[in-house]
């Protein structure tokens, strides 16, 4: 039996990097918001409640009421010039700047776990560009199953259908990396120096997870605590000056505490007049940082007796933020690049 003809020349031999953030709706309209929320809230890594209990709530209540409210929230932060969310704007910019720093030897792309561009589509694009070795970079310094693991799940799931799979590496958590800690500290110092007031307390607000996830063995809480401890050491502050809190809880279950909104309220009522909040677990500003912290929590603080409130931006695509991303990528590409 004759052998089949040789395959046409397929591009290969390149190294790819895919940076991945949480996700974003394609628009602020109800249909776009519903599509985004459905993909997010049906992820078993995000909601571990059994389907027979969760789906009647999700499809009977949440997806009929929440898209319109969330759409209004997104509208307040929407990048009107590009017609997209800030998270998409920043993630694209991070990929472009990383590509410039690494040069032609590495192909850099970006994706979202929920929404567009999808992980599957960008993995295919990298492979079509000749990348047979790809580094997956979930943009979460602190590991959680609901963030880092679900990005990796989606990437591995896509490989199941491939005849010719690229070699894959994934970025481990970097919550205690000195470059990351130093970048956070410089960001705090720079932004506080520019304020017209001196915050009495600074909160390091991390996205929360249900307490039950922590009890099952998720290391996220410990990673957040270590980041805060190392940041205090770097800044020379005590745990009264820099306090850790957790935001964005959802549903009736108990989440990691102390809660950011309750802490903001309690501080204002106790007589604290000047407060600043940073969000070290977010690599780029998004709804949870711009609107939830910068608007909702600012209102809570002022409505309970506080006066001066500042939101410290994420590292985003600034020089310090890009230094962290490039440092992590170069470290994890050793032997490939």
pLDDT of residue 5: 55
Distance CA 307, CA 295 (A): 14
Q: What is the pLDDT of residue 72?
A: 96
Verify that 24 and 152 share a domain, yes or no: yes
- Residue-number span of the structural domain to which 224 is assigned: 178-311
Residue 234 lies in a domain: yes
Domain presence at residue 261: yes
Shared domain for 38 and 155, answered yes or no, is yes
If asked whether residues 167 and 185 sit together in one domain, one would say no
User: Does some domain include residue 63?
Assistant: yes
Residue 332: Cβ within 10 Å count: 19
Same domain assignment for residues 206 and 275: yes
The answer to whether residues 182 and 170 belong to one domain is: no
Residue 1 lies in a domain: no
Same domain, 35 and 129: yes
Same domain, 238 and 125: no
- Residue 165 sits in the same domain as residue 73: yes
Answer whether 143's CB lies under 8 Å from 206's CB: no
Which residues, other chains included, contact 103 with Cβ-Cβ below 8 Å and sequence gap of 6+?
A: none
What b/e sequence results for 171-209 when a residue is b if at least 16 CB atoms lie within 10 Å of its CB, and e otherwise? bebbbebebbbbbbbbbbeeebeeeeeebbbbbbbbbbb
Please give the tally of structural domains in the chain.
Answer: 2
Do 46 and 151 sit in the same domain of this protein?
yes
Looking at the domain assignment, is residue 232 inside a domain? yes
| Ranges of the chain whose pLDDT falls below 70 | 1-10
* Residue 337 domain-assigned (yes or no): no
User: Nearest 5°: phi and psi at 99?
Assistant: -60, -40
pLDDT at residue number 135: 98
The pLDDT value given to residue 251 = 83
CATH classification at residue 193: 3.40.50.1400
Q: Are residues 155 and 221 in the same domain?
A: no
Cα–Cα distances in angstroms (integers) from residue 221 to residues 26, 138, 144, 215, 257, in the given order: 31, 18, 9, 10, 10
Judge whether 4 lies within some domain. Answer: no
C-alpha distances in angstroms, 264 versus 102, 203, 244, 297?
41, 9, 11, 7
Same domain, 143 and 227: no
**Mean pLDDT of the chain, nearest integer:** 96
Non-local (6+) Cβ contacts of 44 within 8 A are: none
Q: Which residues are CB-contacts of 210 (< 8 A; sequence separation ≥ 6)?
A: 48, 253, 254, 255, 256
Task: Give CA torsion, residues 253, 255, 257, 261, to 10 deg.
Answer: -80
pTM for the model stands at: 0.94
Q: Tell me, yes or no, whether 305 and 187 share the same domain.
A: yes
Tell me what pLDDT residue 337 has: 83
pLDDT of residue 2: 55
- Tell whether 211 is covered by a domain: yes
């Amino acid at each position: 039996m004759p052998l089949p003809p040789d395959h046409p020349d397929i591009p290969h031999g390149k190294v790819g990097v895919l940076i991945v953030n949480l996700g974003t709706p394609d628009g602020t309209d109800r249909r776009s918001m519903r599509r985004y929320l459905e993909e997010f809230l049906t992820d078993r890594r995000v909601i571990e409640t059994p389907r027979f209990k969760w789906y009647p709530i999700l499809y009977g209540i949440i997806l009929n009421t929440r898209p319109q409210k969330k759409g209004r929230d997104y509208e307040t932060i929407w990048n009107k010039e590009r017609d997209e969310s800030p998270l998409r704007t920043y993630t694209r910019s991070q990929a472009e700047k990383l590509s410039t720093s690494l040069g032609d030897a590495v192909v850099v792309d970006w994706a979202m776990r929920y929404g567009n561009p999808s992980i599957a589509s960008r993995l295919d694009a990298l492979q079509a560009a000749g990348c047979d070795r790809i580094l997956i970079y979930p943009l979460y310094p602190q590991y959680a199953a609901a963030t880092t693991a679900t990005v990796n799940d989606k990437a591995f799931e896509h490989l199941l259908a491939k005849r010719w799979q690229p070699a894959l590496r994934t970025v481990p958590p970097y919550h205690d990396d000195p470059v990351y800690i130093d970048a956070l500290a410089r960001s705090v110092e720079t932004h506080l120096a520019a304020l017209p007031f001196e915050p009495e307390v600074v909160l390091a607000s991390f996205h929360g997870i249900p307490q039950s996830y922590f009890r099952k063995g998720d290391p996220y809480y410990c990673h957040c605590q270590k980041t805060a401890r190392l940041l205090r050491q770097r800044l020379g502050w005590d745990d009264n000056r820099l306090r850790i809190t957790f935001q964005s809880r959802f549903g009736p279950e108990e989440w990691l505490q102390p809660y950011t909104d309750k802490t903001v309220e309690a501080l204002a009522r106790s007589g604290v007049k000047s407060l600043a909040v940073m969000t070290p677990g977010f690599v780029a500003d998004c709804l949870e940082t711009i609107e939830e912290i910068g608007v909702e929590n600012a209102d809570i603080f002022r409505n309970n007796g506080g006066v001066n409130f500042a939101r410290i931006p994420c590292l985003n695509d600034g020089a310090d933020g890009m230094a962290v991303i490039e440092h992590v990528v170069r470290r994890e590409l050793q032997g490939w690049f």
